[in-house]
Structure 1
Amino acid sequence: MMMNRRTFSTTVLAGAAASLISTRGMAANSAPPKARNVVLVHGLFADGSCWSEVIARLQAAGLNATAVQNPLTTLPEAVESAQRVLARQDGPTVLVGHSFSGMIVTEAGMHPNVSALVYVAARAPDAGEDYTALAKTYPTPPASAGIVFDGDEGRLTEAAFLHDFAGDLPEAKAKVLYAVQDPFHKALLAGKTTQAAWRSKPSFYAVSTEDRTINPDLERFMAKRMDAKTIELKSSHLSLISHPDEIARLILEAAGQPT
């Protein structure tokens, strides 16, 4: 049977769409391999200590957990810092990222040691995607107005940190976190991922429904796009601190461990 041009074009487009859906769904719908190692990466306005509550729970479950000290300089340097830690892991490893470090997880997650990805209220760009442009298609979250710069270094004001970043934490605890805030370099925000690990590896996402740092609907969009196993937590941007039990359970699931 002969195809006219319109029929041919429709067939090609349908095939391409089916291929895209298949590629996107392949990762999340497959069961993750059993892993004993977890590598956790922090985002902006934080350091590796923000994972302390989650790490304690993972260690109690018998997992080997390591927090990366993200240099917050450029995206390539941040990815390299995660890759160095991943290279030291013995066997399958779950790579976890919070907030901005979802950029790092998306790129560094291609490392052969990585068996699954976990995004905690995190950016999850596609390869080469302009995340800033994507974020602008949603209402701007309040925390953005609280970023101030000292030359090339950016940080959150104390008011924005307490109210828009760590809004569901006791004020005394939030102030301790504010005190260890590590400024980021402007150049970091210009980076784009060159590949998207979530297209080929099992992926998990924790949405923060009360998030004032990343729009919760943007988080839902990214989680759905990657076909991630998704949970929603009534939490600020810092669900890893306000809801460590739920975050630890999601990581254990990504590690193929009993929860």
Structure 2
Amino acid sequence: MEISRRRFSALGAGVAATTLSGTLSGATAAQAETPPGKPAVRNVVLVHGAYADGSSWAKVIPLLQEAGMNVTAVQNPLTSLADDVAATNFALARQDGPTLLVAHSYGGTVISEAGLAPNVTGLVYVAARAPEAGEDFAALSARFPTPPVTSGIITSGGFKWIGRSAFLRDFANGVPRKEALVLYAAQGLLSTAAPTTSVAAWREKPSWYAVSKDDRTINPDLERFMARRMNATTIEVDSGHLSLVTHPKIIAGLILRAAANS
């Protein structure tokens, strides 16, 4: 894992939070203590991406809970951006106090729209879309090499999903096959309607970004471009698209660091 932009204070190979103790294989952990006199945000709302559901956060959630966080995972209907934003807003309205909003993949579009809620103190993007207001994400993506998963996307009846081979090879690369097959069976179907945002919450809220260096679903250079554009505190993870599944300690560590500094 490489760290760029506003840099974390490195604490060697261990993770500072006691719940994340141990070493991170092939990575330099990056965590820091809560700034003196500043209480950490205790509420976290997690927003999943397309071709997935809230259970995609299953390995991250217990790490956050063990660190004392109140965690809510949204179940996006994926029927439209408006429906997904409504589901996220409902989750935010149920929080008691300042809240960190976290998203994976397509979920980044959702939090870019919903993130202006007054109780949201910061945004964390995990291999996620981070569109500008009104931006055509497909056109933006076309400026970068086409990710391999694209050839495996199937469209029918107003929805799209990923075929089995492409899901295992490209969407869930790095995930053990048995586990990837479970994720495939539970994948959510995404509406084909263009998800265009009216605002870009990252322009007003502090942001963090985890780039997946081996991503075959969103081009890693596109992820880097979006992270730079939002001036996000950025880490790079030696992972495919599903870093929240393959590297939950690193992703939980980033979320905890954001909670301590948002």
User: TM-score by structure 2 length?
Assistant: 0.84
1:163 aligns with 2:164: no
Counterparts of 1:183 and 1:234 in 2: how far apart (Å)?
A: 27
Letter in 1 for 2:251: I
Counterparts of 2:69 and 2:162 in 1: how far apart (Å)?
A: 33
What pairs with 1:96-245 in structure 2 (closer than 5 Å)?
96-187=102-193, 190-245=194-249
- 1:33 shift after superposition: 7.0
Cα deviations by residue, 1:186-217 (Å, 9 ceiling, x for unpaired)? 12xx1211111111111000000000000000
- 1:97 shift after superposition: 0.5
Letter in 2 for 1:226: M
Pair member with larger Rg: 1
1:38 maps to 44
Identity %: 58
- 1:76 shift after superposition: 1.0
Counterparts of 1:117 and 1:151 in 2: how far apart (Å)?
A: 33
Letter in 2 for 1:198: W
- 1:182 shift after superposition: 1.3
1:48 maps to 54
Residues paired across the two proteins, number: 226
What pairs with 1:245-256 in structure 2 (closer than 5 Å)?
245-256=249-260
Counterparts of 1:222 and 1:89 in 2: how far apart (Å)?
A: 28
User: TM-score by structure 1 length?
Assistant: 0.85
Secondary structure (helix, strand or coil) at the match of 1:191 reads: coil
Counterparts of 2:40 and 2:175 in 1: how far apart (Å)?
A: 33
Secondary structure (helix, strand or coil) at the match of 1:106 reads: helix
Counterparts of 2:159 and 2:223 in 1: how far apart (Å)?
A: 26
- 1:150 shift after superposition: 2.8
- 1:34 shift after superposition: 2.5
Calculate the aligned-residue CA RMSD, in Å. Answer: 1.4
Counterparts of 2:120 and 2:159 in 1: how far apart (Å)?
A: 31
Tell me, which stretches of 5 or more residues in structure 2 are unaligned?
6-34
Letter in 2 for 1:242: T
Letter in 1 for 2:247: H
1:33–1:216 CA distance, 2 compared to 1 (3 A): farther
Question: Which protein has the bigger helix share?
Answer: 1
1:64 maps to 70
Tell me, which stretches of 5 or more residues in structure 1 are unaligned?
1-24, 26-30
